[in-house]
Structure 1
Amino acid sequence: MQRFRLSPPVGFAVVGATLLWFLAASSAPSPLYVVYQERFAFTEFTLTTVFAVYVLALIAALLVVGALSDHVGRRPVLLAAIALEIVALVLFLLADGVGWLLAARIVQGIATGAATATLPATVVDLAPAPERAGLVNGVAPLAGLGLGALATGALVEFAPAPTRLVWVLLLGGLLIAAVLIALIPETITRRPGALASLRPRISVPKRIRPGFGPVVPTLLASWSLGGLYLSLGPSVVSGPFGVRNHLVGGLVVAALCLTGAASAYALRRRAPVRVLGPAAALLGIGTLVTLSGVFTGLLPLATAGTLVAGVGFGSAAYATFGTLAALAAPHERGELFAATYTLAYLAFSVPAMLAGVAATAVGLRPTALVYGGVVVVLAVVATVLARRVPAAATGERVPATTRTG
């Protein structure tokens, strides 16, 4: 099989595309939540519970298998993650009640947790240059989130079988990904400790912590905002703004995420650590403008704010993942990205679930205003702390791993 392996540059492209596809699948339910809510007659709290169980399962997977690929290799973990994702998509395809949705999201969370700890590390391993790794790890997730929501919104509005077709298309892409991932070069030499690595923990190597700490506030601000848009964004559009078009619901998520992806790409020649402060500032400004639109009921104003926040969202993704990509040695990357995504998804899910409780009790508009206000405050704190980035975070990338397999 050695002669059938893909070259590292082709493997790099395959892994980046797989990362995008996983995140597209994760955001695909967002425009469908309103459809499922009408069809299965559940509240905003149930809606955000369906959203939150996915994230909690994802975090559990990060804690258990986040460092596994550092011991057994990238390919086995990625193939197992793809297999679980296929099971999740089949459950979505068969769903005829809330129980099915919960089961599908839990399985999808486990699959995405294993994938999002391993795929970014593999991107770094195979990248021809450190900037390319930071770029792909910053752009691909945002592009996937935006494209998944936008495509699903379009399918719901214009295509037949809106709760079925999207899952069939995603399944087809994953089957192709499975074949290609099986052919990528393995970048990790097996080493002892695989069973011990399954012990749930969050750990950042000590030498990386001076650079990791200043990244955290920007990480929390950006992912908290993303959680609001992906869980309640389409509902806010159809509720307070009274827009019933499902494509517009997908556009809400896409406006944040695709603007973010374009911004991350535009920043590809900038030093990631120098983008942390401006990214946090743009997140705060954009969220504040969006809140003004929600408060006044002016959708164009909220849209403008979302686009500004999207620039901050993408800048933050580029800054955080670009900085981390330069800090970790090969056998530290799985563990480091697992810790990073654990923090990110906690910010992504816990506030969103609390917002679901609040929305059921007091309504979507006041909930969105309070949630957004907290994000603004967090963004201000992130802007200040970003100035304290130590020299360790601007150092040169560690030597590339010796590629095997």
Structure 2
Amino acid sequence: MSRTAVVATSFAFLVAMIGTTVPTALYPIYADELGFSSLTVTILFAVYACGVFGALLLFGRLSDQIGRRLVLVASLVFAVLSAIMFLIPASLATLIVGRVLSGVSAGLMTGAGTAAIVDLFPSDRRARAGILAVAVNSGGLAIGNLGGGVLADISRSPLVVPFAAHLVLAVIALVGMRLFGEAPGPRGGFVFRVQRLRVPAQIRGAFVRGSLAAGAGFASGGVLTAVTGIFLADDLALTDHALAGFVVFLVFAFVASGQLLARWIPRRWAMPSACAGMVVAAGFLAWALAGPLLAPLIVAAIGVGTSCGICMNVGLATTVEEVPVAERGGVSSAFFIVIYVMLAFPAIGVGLLAGPLGLRDAGLVFAGVVALLAAAVGVADYTSSRRAGGVRV
């Protein structure tokens, strides 16, 4: 195992994911300058999701075919282009293009980056590889949210400095991957077509439960992302951009904590207990929105992140880490397609329902939906474990 390659790959993954969430805390500023509504923010989230889905569907198995490093470099190129678009004087058109490019960057990176990190570790340390992959993924999402808000608050150019900083990081990561990144695995030709991301039959049950459980956590994060900025400003009169970024930062930061906690929970109980935690967190989110109150919102963010981290750990351990190298990129991409669909659905839905219902009531609706989903997945996983005598099937 090359430690330099691990560092270069992990840093590239981290930087790409930072770029996807830098704009989140800045949406209230764009709303003031360009007259955005909650529906406009929803559109921006939707086009980002389309970029992610398109990249995963078209290129989800590309790293299995041509090697990991080329795909990771391509992801960073799209991250650079996205940052440049955000540095152009803002308009709805430039923001849409920037978000699409950011989505393509994330779609290329999530599947290939996870597979690349797992590849770089020997088989007896594969569990650590899964923890590292989720940590840099969620860590990037967390840093982007918080960093964007902090830089916006302390700089005189809040819509320039965060993206300029990300551009510098992306260029450094791009150089690092070119110099130090490794590309283990097969190399061959690539046929451009919508690819069927096949999940091997032996892990299909674990894949469905793991991806849905982790997706429920990301769906809860999607609700928080959709409501936090406007909720804090309009309902609590808290206009600090760093605070809005910090609340969402907590979700993704505690995903990493959940990864570590998962190592101490028996496998049979890990996912059911995490799903129960998501139900409780959804209750705190509902309490915060109904209040309106800040403290339950923070508790909800911590609970969602921790529970999601546990589910991610179990999900990757029973899917991506269990398949041969030649199938790892495709399985990883399929896993993240489910997660990103579930991340996007409530965030887009909250924006659409905010008009007729109001933002808080729309958030309450989707908090309830996510709680029901998490409860169903937790029961299904526990039932499967009991039927298998405590061993997952």
The one-letter code matched in structure 2 to 1:212 is: F
Q: Distance in 1 between matches of 2:316 and 2:150?
A: 30
Structure 1: gaps of 5 or more residues:
1-6, 396-405
Residues 272 and 70 of structure 1: CA distance in aligned 2, closer, same or farther (over 3 Å): farther
2:78 alignment counterpart: 84
The one-letter code matched in structure 2 to 1:150 is: L
Any residues of structure 2 matched to 1:58-77 within 5 Å, and which? 58-77=52-71
1:31 alignment counterpart: 25
The one-letter code matched in structure 2 to 1:179 is: V
Secondary structure of the corresponding residue to residue 181 of structure 2:
coil
Q: Distance in 1 between matches of 2:7 and 2:276?
A: 32
The one-letter code matched in structure 1 to 2:28 is: V
Residues 273 and 122 of structure 1: CA distance in aligned 2, closer, same or farther (over 3 Å): farther
TM-score normalised by L of structure 2 = 0.93
Q: Which one of 173, 183, 187 corresponds to residue 184 of structure 2?
A: 187
Q: Which one of 341, 347, 355 corresponds to residue 350 of structure 2?
A: 355
Residues 137 and 358 of structure 1: CA distance in aligned 2, closer, same or farther (over 3 Å): same
CA apart distance, 1:274: 4.6
Q: Is the 8 A contact 2:285 2:297 kept in 1?
A: yes
Q: Distance in 2 between matches of 1:189 and 1:142?
A: 28
C-alpha RMSD of the superposition: 2.1
CA apart distance, 1:302: 2.4
Q: Is the 8 A contact 1:64 1:201 kept in 2?
A: no
Residues 133 and 271 of structure 1: CA distance in aligned 2, closer, same or farther (over 3 Å): farther
Structure 2: gaps of 5 or more residues:
none
TM-score normalised by L of structure 1 = 0.90
Q: Distance in 1 between matches of 2:390 and 2:232?
A: 40
Q: Is the 8 A contact 2:16 2:75 kept in 1?
A: no
2:247 alignment counterpart: 252
Secondary structure of the corresponding residue to residue 163 of structure 1:
coil
2:8 alignment counterpart: 14
Residues 12 and 296 of structure 1: CA distance in aligned 2, closer, same or farther (over 3 Å): same
The one-letter code matched in structure 2 to 1:88 is: S
CA apart distance, 1:391: 6.3
Secondary structure of the corresponding residue to residue 239 of structure 1:
helix
Residues 392 and 211 of structure 1: CA distance in aligned 2, closer, same or farther (over 3 Å): farther
1:3 alignment counterpart: none
1:401 alignment counterpart: none
Comparing 273-282 with 374-383, which one deviates more in the overlay? 273-282
Secondary structure of the corresponding residue to residue 318 of structure 2:
helix
Secondary structure of the corresponding residue to residue 297 of structure 1:
coil
Any residues of structure 2 matched to 1:104-123 within 5 Å, and which? 104-123=98-117
1:167 alignment counterpart: 163
Q: Is the 8 A contact 1:84 1:110 kept in 2?
A: yes
Secondary structure of the corresponding residue to residue 201 of structure 1:
coil
The one-letter code matched in structure 1 to 2:201 is: K
Q: Distance in 1 between matches of 2:246 and 2:94?
A: 26
Secondary structure of the corresponding residue to residue 213 of structure 1:
helix
CA apart distance, 1:288: 0.6
Any residues of structure 2 matched to 1:5-404 within 5 Å, and which? 8-128=2-122, 129-182=125-178, 183-191=180-188, 194-195=190-191, 198-268=193-263, 274-387=269-382, 388-389=384-385
Q: Distance in 1 between matches of 2:147 and 2:33?
A: 21
Q: Distance in 1 between matches of 2:42 and 2:390?
A: 36
1:403 alignment counterpart: none
Q: Distance in 1 between matches of 2:309 and 2:102?
A: 24
Comparing 118-127 with 350-359, which one deviates more in the overlay? 350-359
Secondary structure of the corresponding residue to residue 86 of structure 2:
helix
Residues 380 and 270 of structure 1: CA distance in aligned 2, closer, same or farther (over 3 Å): closer
The one-letter code matched in structure 1 to 2:163 is: W
- Number of aligned positions between the proteins: 387
Identity over aligned residues, as a percent?
Answer: 25
Q: Distance in 2 between matches of 1:94 and 1:392?
A: 58
Q: Is the 8 A contact 2:55 2:104 kept in 1?
A: yes
CA apart distance, 1:84: 1.4
Q: Is the 8 A contact 2:75 2:108 kept in 1?
A: yes
The one-letter code matched in structure 1 to 2:186 is: T
Comparing 181-190 with 337-346, which one deviates more in the overlay? 181-190
Q: Distance in 1 between matches of 2:184 and 2:266?
A: 26
The one-letter code matched in structure 2 to 1:137 is: A
Secondary structure of the corresponding residue to residue 39 of structure 1:
helix
The one-letter code matched in structure 2 to 1:291 is: A
Comparing 265-274 with 68-77, which one deviates more in the overlay? 265-274
Q: Distance in 2 between matches of 1:238 and 1:72?
A: 47
The one-letter code matched in structure 2 to 1:238 is: A
Q: Distance in 2 between matches of 1:188 and 1:72?
A: 8
Deviations 1:11-68 (A, max 9, x none): 1222122222221111111101111111110210111110111011110110000101
Comparing 54-63 with 177-186, which one deviates more in the overlay? 177-186
Secondary structure of the corresponding residue to residue 235 of structure 2:
coil
Q: Distance in 1 between matches of 2:266 and 2:76?
A: 33
The one-letter code matched in structure 1 to 2:40 is: T
